[in-house]
Chain A
Amino acid sequence: QQPVQSPQAVILREGEDAVINCSSSKALYSVHWYRQKHGEAPVFLMILLKGGEQKGHEKISASFNEKKQQSSLYLTASQLSYSGTYFCGTGGRKNNDMRFGAGTRLTVKP
């Protein structure tokens, strides 16, 4: 089953913060976050593994709550370059367990 992402879309002004949530009905082994710009391939942002810590990369960070089977992506002080569709991918132990959410479209305006 696909993970559920929320919100489906969000519009921000430069410098504002956003949170994107990803929840699964299945026990999770890992959570991946990717960003996809229109007409391009998804680009890896970060991966969180079961038992791992919260991760961050500059102004983008993520958390993974194993008990709640949820992950959240935090974007702080958003920039125009953050615009795109963000996908979470949830993985089990098997290679064909990977499932992607429907995506959250983020638009950052000047």
Chain B
Amino acid sequence: NAGVTQTPKFRILKIGQSMTLQCTQDMNHNYMYWYRQDPGMGLKLIYYSVGAGITDKGEVPNGYNVSRSTTEDFPLRLELAAPSQTSVYFCASSVTGVSSYEQYFGPGTRLTVT
């Protein structure tokens, strides 16, 4: 049982490039989330999904897109990367609603945009 896995672990992008951060969970959780964590700060919710085919915006969705075609996978797409998107990105999953259940986090992707 691998839990939540993320790829890549590190990535450097040039301004204007695009990329997809991959996230997979093997716990059959319905709910999945993408967070970003800036240095010295807490986590901020980008997007979340309550099941395959259903996604919704979080607190800071601008500049990102998501899709959820299967229960296991929840990729995050960055279009036209900007320096402000330099951050550590964490994917998480939970059995059901985030307010009532613990979240399991992946190891993170450290992204630098220069």
Contact = CB atoms under 8 A, between A and B. Distances in A.
Contact of A44 (B42, B44, B56, B103): B103
A41 B99 contact: no
Contacts of A89: 43
B42 A96 contact: no
B100 interface: yes
B37 to A, nearest CB: 9
B21 interface: no
Interface in A62-110: 87, 89, 91-103
B42 A103 contact: yes
B95 to A, nearest CB: 12
Question: Interface extent on A, as a size class?
Answer: 20 to 34
Interface range for B: 20 to 34
Contact of A96 (B57, B101, B104, B106): B57
Interface string B29-47: 0010000000011111100
Nearest to A42: B105
B90 interface: yes
Nearest to B61: A96
B102 A41 contact: no
A91 B99 CA distance: 5
Nearest to B4: A41
Nearest to B108: A41
A100 B44 contact: yes
Interface of B: 31, 40-45, 48, 50, 56-59, 90, 97-108
15 contacts: A40-B108, A41-B90, A47-B100, A87-B43, A91-B99, A95-B56, A95-B97, A96-B45, A96-B57, A96-B59, A98-B99, A99-B42, A100-B43, A102-B40, A103-B40
